[in-house]
């Protein structure tokens, strides 16, 4: 994933957390994780996240279903 897409994805997610500066990310092997947000994303932001290459772990990478209780992943 391009650095700009990674940064833009986190920028989209940030206001959806109750504590925008909290500990909401992780990484393992070849994936970055942004944990589930406290508030659901707008349809527009869900679409933008997918366009940037982010996906939800319980769905397929191109899955059109949004799972508000799941976080977002990005491959490095």
**What pLDDT shows up at residue 62?**
59
> What are the backbone angles phi and psi of residue 24, rounded to the nearest 5°?
-120, 10
Q: Tell me the domain boundaries of the chain.
A: 3-75
Are 10 and 25 within 8 A, CB to CB?
yes
Which is higher by pLDDT, 60 or 70? Answer: 70
**How many angstroms separate the CA atoms of 16 and 38, rounded?**
6
Q: How confident is the model at residue 60 (pLDDT cuts 50, 70, 90)?
A: low
**What pLDDT shows up at residue 55?**
92
Query: Could you tell me the pTM of the whole model?
Result: 0.86
Helix (H) or strand (E) holding 29: none
């Amino acid at each position: 994933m391009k650095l700009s897409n990674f940064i833009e994805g986190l920028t989209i997610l940030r206001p959806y957390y109750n504590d925008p500066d909290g500990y909401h990310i992780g990484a393992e092997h070849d994936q970055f994780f942004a944990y589930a947000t406290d508030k659901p994303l707008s349809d527009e932001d869900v679409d933008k996240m997918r366009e940037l290459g982010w996906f939800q772990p319980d769905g397929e990478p191109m899955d059109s279903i949004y799972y508000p209780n799941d976080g977002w992943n990005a491959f490095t």
